[in-house]
């Protein structure tokens, strides 16, 4: 069980590092770096799933009623002493790391939403400027074109 929890802690720490890298990539708006971090994150999530399955297998091998057994009931079956203290310490560390990862993911989620909002704003500005009617045009640009009376802005340049 100690080994399984150590694996979970190690993967959680790697995920926290990934979250920090993702935050930096989002702030810098570096898409290539963000793609790399996302690929690494997917690998780590798979490792986390495997470590969790290993932990569950250990719990099932020790606990008699594995379907109803939670971690606390597993701890109740572990005899007191150094092993139990080590497991409780690892569990506390794992809970702290999980909370830290959740906080970092919330920040990254907000940064991602802000980036998407920025991109949408830029798209709106580009499409709006193409549809926008300008008030002043070069007299050379009007040569060969029909009258601009239907295409006036706020000011009529011919008035």
pLDDT attached to residue 38: 93
More confidently predicted of 39 and 69: 39
Q: Averaged over 74-101, what is the pLDDT? A: 84
State the number of CA atoms in the 13 A half-sphere of 77 facing the CB.
16
pLDDT attached to residue 151: 46
pLDDT of 146 strictly over 70: no
Q: Averaged over 36-56, what is the pLDDT? A: 92
Distance CA 141, CA 27 (A): 42
pLDDT attached to residue 115: 85
93-144 pLDDT, tens digit each = 999 999 999 999 999 999 999 988 988 888 888 877 555 555 655 666 555 5
Helix (H) or strand (E) holding 76: helix 71-77
Distance CA 146, CA 70 (A): 80
pLDDT attached to residue 148: 47
Q: Averaged over 57-76, what is the pLDDT? A: 66
Q: How confident is the model at residue 145 (pLDDT cuts 50, 70, 90)?
A: low
């Amino acid at each position: 069980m100690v080994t399984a929890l150590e694996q979970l802690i190690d993967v959680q720490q790697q995920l926290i590092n990934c979250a920090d890298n993702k935050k930096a990539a989002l702030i810098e708006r570096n898409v290539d770096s963000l793609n790399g971090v996302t690929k690494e994150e997917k690998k780590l999530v798979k490792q986390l799933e495997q470590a969790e399955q290993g932990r569950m297998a250990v719990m099932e091998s020790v606990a008699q009623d594995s379907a109803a057994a939670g971690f606390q009931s597993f701890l109740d079956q572990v005899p007191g002493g150094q092993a139990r203290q080590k497991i409780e310490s690892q569990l506390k560390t794992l809970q702290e790391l999980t909370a830290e990862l959740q906080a970092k993911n919330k920040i990254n989620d907000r940064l991602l939403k802000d980036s998407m909002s920025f991109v949408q704003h830029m798209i709106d500005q580009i499409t709006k400027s193409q549809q926008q009617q300008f008030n002043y045009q070069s007299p050379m640009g009007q040569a060969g074109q029909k009258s601009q009376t239907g295409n006036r802005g706020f000011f009529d340049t011919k008035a």
